């Protein structure tokens, strides 16, 4: 999926209050950008990092820039907007670009479980419905290994429990790690950050929840699904 407006390069000055970032554009202007990422952004929010932001002229929005990418050495990028994960997968589902998720129709944000909404509910001929939860993965502490989560996630644990419940009711369920990095070779769980989530994921897998991961093509022009990555465990 292409960005609505061309991204502009900038330098990160600081990220604060989770959703705000002071930035310096390449023309020297300093301003505040919206940061659409509730996680810790470990390794991605250091002062001086090269980033890319999306301008907007919407009078309803207080902030005129949205932080979208971090640029790394070697021409690699990380997408920091967690909301892009669902949009990227939706585009891939429409194009039938994920063999494991071929479908005869799907709906988004469908109520299920105990007060939750599943990201996508896939309908498949001759098979049970498939409930799919999407998680944006951006953490990398060891070269090539993308990890989730980057902070304790009670909400993520609840989603695992909801997916497990769907399997026990006779449906199918999948956890889809959308790796918004171009430098990842595999995906793992950061058990040292959230042991409860790691335990919940193993319980979900044992119950029959499918776990899959794909990385992305990322650049200042677009983000799109690329290839499957292994998720050992």
Q: Return the closest-CA partner of residue 86 out of 107, 55, 102, 70.
A: 107
Q: Give this prediction's pTM.
A: 0.95
Q: Return the closest-CA partner of residue 157 out of 190, 119, 194.
A: 194
3-state secondary structure of 85: helix
The CATH number assigned to the domain holding 209 equals 3.40.1350.60
The average confidence (pLDDT) of the chain is 96
Domain co-membership, 151 together with 65: no
pLDDT at 124: 85
pLDDT at 125: 84
Domain co-membership, 74 together with 90: no
The total number of structural domains in the chain stands at: 2
pLDDT at 61: 82
Q: Where are the beta strands (DSSP E) in 56-189?
A: 65-71, 77-79, 106-112, 116-122, 130-137, 139-142, 145-148, 172-179, 186-189
Domain co-membership, 64 together with 89: no
Q: What residue numbers bound the domain in which 197 lies?
A: 83-229
Domain co-membership, 204 together with 89: yes
Q: Where are the beta strands (DSSP E) in 123-181?
A: 130-137, 139-142, 145-148, 172-179
Residue 58 has pLDDT above 90, yes or no: no
Grade residue 65 by pLDDT with cuts at 50, 70 and 90: very high
Grade residue 133 by pLDDT with cuts at 50, 70 and 90: very high
What is the mean predicted confidence (pLDDT) over 4-14?
A: 96
Domain co-membership, 32 together with 139: no
Domain co-membership, 66 together with 103: no
Tens digit of pLDDT for each residue in 134-165? 999 999 999 999 999 999 999 999 999 999 99
The CATH number assigned to the domain holding 26 equals 2.40.50.580
């Amino acid at each position: 999926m292409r960005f609505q407006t061309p991204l502009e390069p900038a330098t990160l000055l600081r990220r604060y209050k989770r959703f705000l970032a002071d930035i310096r554009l390449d023309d020297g202007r300093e301003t505040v950008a919206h940061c659409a990422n509730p996680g810790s952004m470990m390794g991605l929010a250091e002062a001086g990092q090269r980033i890319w932001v999306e301008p907007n002229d919407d009078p309803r929005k207080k902030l005129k820039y949205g932080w979208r990418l971090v640029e790394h050495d070697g021409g690699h990028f990380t997408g920091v907007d967690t909301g892009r994960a669902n949009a990227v997968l939706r585009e891939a589902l429409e194009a039938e670009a994920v063999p494991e998720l071929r479908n005869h129709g799907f709906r988004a944000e469908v109520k299920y479980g105990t007060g939750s909404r599943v990201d996508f509910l896939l309908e498949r001929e001759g098979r049970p419905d498939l409930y799919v939860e999407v998680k944006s993965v951006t953490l990398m502490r060891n070269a090539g290994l993308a990890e989730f989560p980057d902070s304790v996630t009670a909400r993520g644990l609840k989603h695992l429990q909801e997916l497990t419940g769907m399997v026990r009711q006779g449906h199918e369920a999948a956890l889809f790690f959308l790796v918004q990095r171009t430098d990842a070779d595999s995906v793992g769980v950061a058990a040292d950050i959230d042991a409860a989530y790691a335990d919940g994921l193993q319980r979900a897998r044992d119950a029959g929840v499918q776990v899959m991961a794909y990385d992305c093509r990322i650049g200042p022009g677009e983000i799109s699904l690329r290839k499957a990555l292994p998720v050992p465990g």
